[in-house]
Every structure is written in C-alpha cells, then in structure tokens.
Structure 1
Amino acid sequence: MSLRSLLLAAAAGPALLALSAPVSAAELKAVASFTVLADVVHQVGGDKVHVASLVGPDGDPHEFEPSPSDAKKLKEADVVFVSGEGLEGWMDRLITASGFKGKPVTASEGVNTRTMEEDGKTVTDPHVWNSPVNVKVWVANIEKALSAADPADAATFKANAEAYAKKLDAMDAYARDKIGKVPEDRRKVLTSHDAFGYFGREYKVTFLAPLGISTESEAAATDVAKLIDQIKAEHVKTYFFENSNDPRLVKQVAKATGAEPGGELYVESLSKAKGPAPTYEKMFRYNVDQLAAAMTKGS
C-alpha cells in the first residue's frame, strides 16, 4: 500500500489506527524516527517525556514504510526528532501528509560527518550514532529542543543530559580500551553494509561491506568480486551480520573468502527488551565486545 493510501486510511478510518500507550497530561509527547534515537531522547527527557519510535526494534530505518498509526503519532506529537543526513528519506513526506504542524529537530546537526563515494556520487554517511562522541552532539540538540518545548522542566533536561554525557564518555573510553588491545593490522571486519564508518574512524577499525550506506542499494556483481579479492588480500578473518538486515549477501561473500562468523551486530536498531541491546548504551558496549572478541581471535 502506498504512503498516500495509508494516510487516507488514517483519516477515514480511526478504528484502524493502533493507538500508542496513554500518557499523562504533564508529559511531553515526542516522536523519534528510530529506536536508537528514541532511547537517547528518553535518556534526556526522563519521566517528563513520552517517546514513541516510528521504526520498531530490529527494524531498518532505510526501508521503513510508515503506517496509519505513524501518521497519527506525528500529528499528536509536541516535538519530532530525526537523525538526518539522509537517513530518513521517507520522513518529509510523512510529516507533510500527517498534518504535523511543527518542524522536526535534526539531532545530528553539528556532527563532524564523513563522506564517501557511492555510485559515482559523494554522499554523507548518516550512521553517526555508531560513535558515542557524535551522540553527545545529539544529546545537546535534544536537550535544547525539549527545553524549548517545555521550559518548566528545562533544569531536569539539563541534569539528565549532563549525566548521560558522562555515560557516553565512559562508553568511548571502554571502546578505546577494548579495541586498543587489538593490533591495528588485525582490526578488519566484514559486515552487511557500510554502517560502521564513524566507529571505524574513531577506533581505527576497517569495515568492508558488499553494500553501501543504504540497505536499499544493490551490490553489483563486479563490486562483490572486487570485495572478495580485497578480503582475501587483506586476510579478513571474521564477518558479522546485522539484526535489521538480510544476511544472505554477506554470508555469500564470507563463503567465498573463508571468513568465519563472528555473530550479530546491532547497527541501526535496538533489540527487543529481552535482547542484548535494548538501549543505546547496551547496544554499543555489546558491539564493542563482539568486535573485539572476533578481532582478537583472528590475531
């Protein structure tokens, strides 16, 4: 069903809508585009903000297709957060069609972004959250937006933001310690798509992938062949698949190169509540542990 059809259905048939959990009158209603961002908004907002995520746990923010209930969430939101940098290609259309009157807050504004070549074009890598250094920028932008929407609770948001920034510093230090113990020439990993660029830049890890920054792209046979040759030449020992993506292509490349499975990484989505990555902090530390263990084994 098209986005237009879904939104018409939302307007015509309220009975079809899935209602979000009830919130008290004192709570600010916030909507975030995907689970990682929603969790960080929750960390800053605390019990003063009710946060709904459009893309659910284990969901892919690149290929997300909004539903009528998403349109309703947006229309009722006091503030909407997106990561930006081209991640949510579907969001502008949804906001326009839903009737949301505000302007979404771009959490990644001010991040020191990286660019890469893809299909002959220079594009910005949107996966900024895979470095907690970048997420500190998110936190500052979220605090500012929540305080503007709810000035009475600004002091609470400021205190929460400062406390969470310290956690992010601790996460960064944890990664530097764990990854730093792996020889640099062994810090090479095969993943499903190119989503770990900021992690790689921060901790000097090389990530190879058959797909570019978006899972919507398709890998050309010639590019896959070149990647296989590169993996063999650089002696990449381990591959990982991602919780929100189809693992078949990376498994195909791994089979051709002899790379061994390292497990699952949480790249663009948190796990469900009982999984290993239900919050951003747990997701990041889990990924660090998985990567460090695999690279150490490979050395």
Structure 2
Amino acid sequence: MKGNRLYYILGIIMILSIITACNSDVTNDEGADVIQVTATTGMIADTVKNVGGEHVSVTGLMGPGVDPHLYKASQGDIGKLDQADVIFYNGLLLEGKMQEILEKMGKHKEVIALADHMNKNNLMETADKQIDPHIWFDVKLWIQATEKVKEGLMQVDPTHKADYEQQAAQYLEQLKELDTYASEQLATIPEEQRVLVTAHDAFGYFGRAYEVEVVGLQGISTASEYGLKDVKQIVDLLVERKIKAVFVESSVPKRSIEAVVQGAKEQGHEVIIGGELFSDAMGSPGTKEGTYIGMVRHNVDTIVKSLK
C-alpha cells in the first residue's frame, strides 16, 4: 500500500517536471491579462469568481457529483495546477488523496488552504480526533474563507486590489443575508423534529450554526465504512423519535440511506427520502444549485419542506 502511494507521488513529480510552465496568456474583454486560478472544489471556485470578477480565470477541478474525499488528480489536473498563478483548496484533508501534491506545489507558487487560516477554536473535532473539513456549511465560516480568497488574490495581483476589495464586500453582504435566511427558515421547524439524517457526517457545522441535530451514517469522510450496526442505530433513532424524513446526497451513493429507510419500514415506521442535498459538491453549472449561495438555499429549503 505504502509502495503504491510512493510510486503515485513519484509519478506526479515526474509529470510536473515535464509540464512546461509556458502558457498562453488569457485576457479579459478589455485585453488586460487575467490571473489564472485553480480551485479544488466547486464552492471555492464559485467564491473566487465572485471576488475576482473579470480579473480572474477560474478552473475548478471537482465538478457536480464529485466526492473530494476520494478524488485522485489526473494528469490533466496536474497541468491545470501547474499553470495556475494561485491555487485555492479547502485543506483539513478534505482533498485527502491530493494533499501531498498541493503541498509540493506550494514550494514554487502561491497555494492557499482556506481552512488552515481559520481560528482553530471555530473548527469542529470528531470523536476520533479528526478535524471536520466541511467548513462551508457554516456560512459565517465561509465568510472567513472569502476574506482569505480576497487576500490571496490581492497578494498575487496587487494592481487590482481596490476591485477585489469592492467585489468581496458585495459578495460578503450576500453571504450575511444567506446566513440570516438559513437561521430564520430552519427555526420554523419544531425543535423536536429538527433532526437531519444523511449518508455521511458532512453537516456538523451546519447543525452547530443553525441548531439542527445532525446524524450521519458514515463518518466525516466517505472513505469510512459503515456496517449493519450503524444502520440499526439510525433506524432505532428514526423509530424512537418518529422522524419522518432522511436525505440523500448528490455526491454519495443512495444505497446507504435506502437501507435505513427499509430498516425503519420493517419496524413499522414509514420514512421518506426528503430530497437530495448538496454536501461535498454543488449542482450543475448554470443552475441555482451550481453556486454556493444557491446550493445552501436549496439545502435549507429542502430540509424545511421535509421536516417542518
């Protein structure tokens, strides 16, 4: 196992050594050069676009339905990373299989892990002492991430500092409105019914921020396994608390949640799948759910509709 991993890293280094750093210039409508940005997740890519505006060309590596916990960089991804002026990623091992590649990239260009710059007191720790990487589910934390994006862009492109500050301020106002919306809408669910059951434990920050009890079948990473004991524990919870809906995730197979629904049915308790939530990936480009704000609003509305 360790040998395979070593060969994988060595292979990546060899690819890096033969990729040319030369890259055709990209310009905006006015003919000015733009900053080349590569972001790992869709949430980060969308935030960079909002802060950077016309001064950035953003490439996102992980599209709709992609699980970052299990994602492996392709040769094409290495090229996109190598050609970037700045790379933004989540950190806290969300991009587990890419971590070493990103760290190596950081030795010769600006590579910024958004979560690494947050106050550690604001981060959540799981029972097995892992730090939860799903920071985007607390909009207040994502406001901090947006500030770091602004700082990173200003560092590599100080010429447009004023524009980045202005565009970030506008986007931050939208995020503050989103945070208020989530709080107000979720508060309409009676407290005893405010229980969110999903395939994996991605919504811990969401639950803490908006006073929702969160239960995940798997751990914080989809790489973790679940067994019959885990299913039974959740089924017992559903039956005992008379919870009427559970949720699937766009980036996680449905079979785990379907097993929970079937288990509850066998105990005489009907549970529905309340809808699909976006957890580790956003929706398709061009849709409301294909933006960070639209994704969060969709999740809030879906939860409220099913649990209220």
> Is TM > 0.5 for Structure 1 vs Structure 2?
yes
SS at match of 2:140: helix
- What is the identity percentage for the equivalent residue pairs of Structure 1 and Structure 2? 30
Q: 1:107: which partner in 2? A: 114
Q: Distance in 1 between matches of 2:113 and 2:105?
A: 18
Deviation (angstroms), 1:57: 2.0
> Whole-Å Cα distance in 2 between the matches of residues 98 and 148 of structure 1?
17
Q: Distance in 2 between matches of 1:22 and 1:207?
A: 47
Does the 8 A contact of 1:35 with 1:55 survive in 2? yes
Instruction: Decide which of 152, 163, 166 is 1:159's aligned counterpart.
Output: 166
Written as runs of structure 1 = structure 2, the 5 A alignment for 1:208-287 is 208-257=215-264, 258-287=270-299
Unaligned stretches of 5+ in structure 2?
A: 265-269
Partner of 1:38: 45
CA contact (8 A) 2:123 2:132 kept: yes
**Contact 1:7–1:97, Cα closer than 8 Å, also in 2:** no
Distance verdict in 2 for CA 1:204–1:269, change over 3 Å: same
Cα contact 1:6–1:67 (8 A) shared by 2:
no
Return the alpha-carbon distance in structure 2 between the equivalents of residues 158 and 99 of structure 1.
25
Distance 1:99 1:164, change over 3 A: closer
Specify the SS of the correspondent of 2:129: strand
User: 2:267 aligns to what?
Assistant: none
The CA RMSD over aligned residues, in Å, is 2.3
Instruction: Tell whether the 8 Å contact from 1:6 to 1:68 is kept in structure 2 after alignment.
Output: no
CA contact (8 A) 1:30 1:51 kept: yes
Aligned AA (1:154): K
Does residue 216 of structure 2 align to residue 192 of structure 1? Answer: no
Partner of 1:124: 131
Task: Go from structure 1 to structure 2 and tell me whether the alpha carbon gap of 1:85 and 1:4 turns closer, same or farther (over 3 Å shift).
Answer: closer
Alignment partners' CA distance in 1, 2:207 and 2:24: 38
TM-score by length of 2: 0.87
Q: Contact 2:186–2:304 (CA<8 Å) still a contact in 1?
A: yes
* Pair 1:147 & 2:159 matched: no
Cα distance change on mapping 1:4 and 1:250 into 2, 3 Å: same
Counterpart of 2:306?
294
User: For the residues of structure 2 that align with 1:125 and 1:101, how far apart are their CA atoms?
Assistant: 28
1:93: Cα distance to partner? 2.5
The answer to whether residue 37 in structure 2 is matched with residue 23 in structure 1 is: no
Inter-partner Cα distance in structure 2 for 1:80 and 1:12: 18
CA contact (8 A) 1:3 1:67 kept: no
- What TM-score comes out, normalization by structure 1 length? 0.89
The number of residues matched between the two structures is 288
What is the CA-CA distance between 1:227 and the residue it aligns to?
2.1
Does the CA-based 8 Å contact 1:72-1:98 persist in structure 2? no
Deviation at residue 279 of structure 1 after TM alignment: 0.5
Q: Residues 165 and 99 (structure 1 numbering): CA distance in 2 closer, same or farther, change over 3 Å?
A: closer
Shift of 1:7: 3.5
